């Protein structure tokens, strides 16, 4: 009986931190109460260069269809940020890194990309949520991004997908935490 109790205690000590860390949001949430009350959003690409704005608009248009990624977000998408007064505005920023130290790629090398997604309250510029992501083939843990083997447009799409996927997971985690 003592061995079983010890085994149960040991497993609890080992698994409890894992279970707790699995529920922690990946992104940074500045106001959990306000974040949990979001019901509508829009995606603003007006501050992006034309090619990045085009990629983001295309992504939102494609992924907002039934059974696609954005349909998993429990918020209603407002197509125009200036109309409909959404609760929050989602913006993205992209940063390109060269795989060499002088921040200029050698001939034939591709940039690697990071996406920064921010969710701000519609009536103010207060950031409620932010996350940094990369395409699945790039690591965010190292100081130097891994060399990319895909064109920039493919990496950009992958980074956008990863950012929205992380947002959706974090919305679900917060919803589960508040429901308890």
Q: Report the candidate in 89, 85, 78 with the shortest Cα–Cα distance to residue 117.
A: 89
- Report how far apart, in Å, the C-alpha atoms of 95 and of each of 92, 149, 177, 178 are: 10, 17, 32, 34
Q: What is the DSSP code string of 111-169?
A: -EEEEEEEEEETTS--EEEEEEE--TTS-SSSSSPPPB-S-HHHHHHHHHHHHHHHHHH
Q: Report the candidate in 88, 168, 164, 97 with the shortest Cα–Cα distance to residue 133.
A: 164
Write the DSSP symbol of residue 43: E
* pTM of the entire predicted model: 0.76
Asked whether residue 119 carries a pLDDT value surpassing 90, the answer given is: yes
What domains are defined for the chain? 26-179 (3.30.160)
Looking at residue 101, what is its pLDDT? 52
- Report how far apart, in Å, the C-alpha atoms of 81 and of each of 77, 111, 121 are: 10, 31, 12
Mean pLDDT of 19-44: 85
Q: In this structure, are residues 139 and 145 in contact, taking their beta carbons and an 8 Å threshold?
A: yes
Asked whether residue 30 carries a pLDDT value surpassing 80, the answer given is: yes
Q: Report the candidate in 67, 70, 32, 9 with the shortest Cα–Cα distance to residue 174.
A: 32
Mean pLDDT of 154-176: 92
What is the residue-averaged pLDDT of the chain?
Answer: 79
Asked whether residue 148 carries a pLDDT value surpassing 70, the answer given is: no
Asked whether residue 140 carries a pLDDT value surpassing 90, the answer given is: no
User: How much of the chain, in percent, has pLDDT values that exceed 70?
Assistant: 70
Tokens of 37: 């009350």
How far apart CA 111 and CA 134 sit, in angstroms, is 12
């Amino acid at each position: 009986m003592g061995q079983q109790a010890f085994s149960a205690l040991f497993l609890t000590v080992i698994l409890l931190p894992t279970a707790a860390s699995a529920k922690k949001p990946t992104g940074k949430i500045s106001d959990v109460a306000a974040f949990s009350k979001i019901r509508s959003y829009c995606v603003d690409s007006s501050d992006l260069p034309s090619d990045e704005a085009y990629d983001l608009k295309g992504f939102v248009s494609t992924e907002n269809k039934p059974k696609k990624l954005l349909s998993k977000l429990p918020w209603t998408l407002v197509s125009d940020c200036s109309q409909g007064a959404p609760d929050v505005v989602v913006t993205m920023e992209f940063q390109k890194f060269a795989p060499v130290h002088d921040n200029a790629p050698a001939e034939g090398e591709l940039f690697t990309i990071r996406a920064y997604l921010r969710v701000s309250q519609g009536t103010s510029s207060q950031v409620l949520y932010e996350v940094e992501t990369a395409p699945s083939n790039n690591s965010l843990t190292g100081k130097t991004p891994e060399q990319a083997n895909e064109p920039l447009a493919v990496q950009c799409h992958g980074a956008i997908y990863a950012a929205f996927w992380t947002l959706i997971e974090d919305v679900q985690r917060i919803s589960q935490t508040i429901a308890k």
